[in-house]
Structure 1
């Protein structure tokens, strides 16, 4: 295995100065990590800008903000629990069950809130739903990438 900071110079041509950083086995590519972080930032930022600009009551904005935070935490927690179980790391059934319950509850709260929101037009409802789903998926992917990177670096 190579050192994590090892730089390999491609000396195929006399003045070729391409630099290639070796990736650890099992580590996600920099492009995938960057795309995951970008998706998370785009999803959360879009959702929050939409909330800020929405013409709804402050308590409604607080509800949608709390559902987003709850959903992000639940998604990351469930990803960790599922991954731990798969890798043979002990996970209590109560924690595993609560993680599933929390994610399902956050998605249900978002769906119920949007369905019953009379002050939001259909296009805005779709925007919030898509930004929410993008944020949850990206949070799971970022958590996976962080864990895979850490695991790859610990194998040295």
Structure 2
């Protein structure tokens, strides 16, 4: 066995990260998460609202088809799923929004109610959506669109 030289170590030097390096990496990851999580949450909220708005437009198209076939719009009390062929908003069994028909239109979107046959559709978030449940989206037979905010303010257009 060869003799060891005085400058040689008995165990090879181990390589790894120091505690300071690990803490710097953790701090950087925390900063990135603090920026990214709120932005991602807003994207999710906007996607849910966009889905409800798209469903209202689809429901409006189906309402017009119903009117063409029956010469009347379905009554307010009618269950939408039974009255409107082709209507299926998906996301069952935990729907993100509940949809309703108001017939005739009462002019919710700060527009005078029309004199002839009319309707107003609404989409109200459910608890499963994670959105305020008193923020309601409306679309009427004249294609007027509005949103009633939780504080009661009506914002025309969406």
Interval of TM-score (by shorter of Structure 1 and Structure 2): 0.3 to 0.5
If asked which structure has higher relative contact order (CA below 8 Å, sep 6+), I would say 1
Name the structure with the higher helix share. 1
Name the structure with the higher strand share. 2
The structure whose Rg is larger is 2
